Amino acid sequence: MLQRTEKYTAQPTPATPRRVTGQYVARAHLTRRQRARLAADLANGTALIWPLTIKQAASLARVPALDVAKYRHNGNGKRVLYRREVGDSDIDAVIAKLGPEKVMAALDRYTAPRFAFAAE
């Protein structure tokens, strides 16, 4: 005979889980009871940690945090466009990454005249 077991919960589970940021989890000074409640909510699916910090993601995947930081930037590990001063070698790296055809098409769009005058 097939037995049907249903688990009764006093509180209905919300349609969307409560979101907690990874930075909050990393920096908050939670008591042991608060951490246990958060862990239970994570296990039940009523809470979600998003986005994870690099250190948390690395710990979860059991890889060094440096590798996670490296692959976050499209796998090349070199960030260029965050600097205020961009050198010629940095521009060459961006053009090599995007392709010269795309860069020239973007330049054509950017430098196209905005108003078309009627030829008389």
The single-letter code of the amino acid at 17 is P
Give the other-Cβ count within 10 Å of 68's Cβ: 19
Query: In the structure encoding, which two tokens stand for residue 79, read together?
Result: 């960030």
Residue showing tokens 């440096």: 66
Give the other-Cβ count within 10 Å of 21's Cβ: 14
Q: What is the pTM of this model?
A: 0.51
User: Which pLDDT tens digit goes with each residue over 9-68?
Assistant: 556 656 789 999 999 999 999 999 999 999 999 999 999 999 999 999 999 999 999 888
Residue showing tokens 């078309």: 116
* 50 vs 18: CA distance, rounded Å: 10
> Does a cis peptide bond (omega within 30 degrees of 0) precede residue 51?
yes
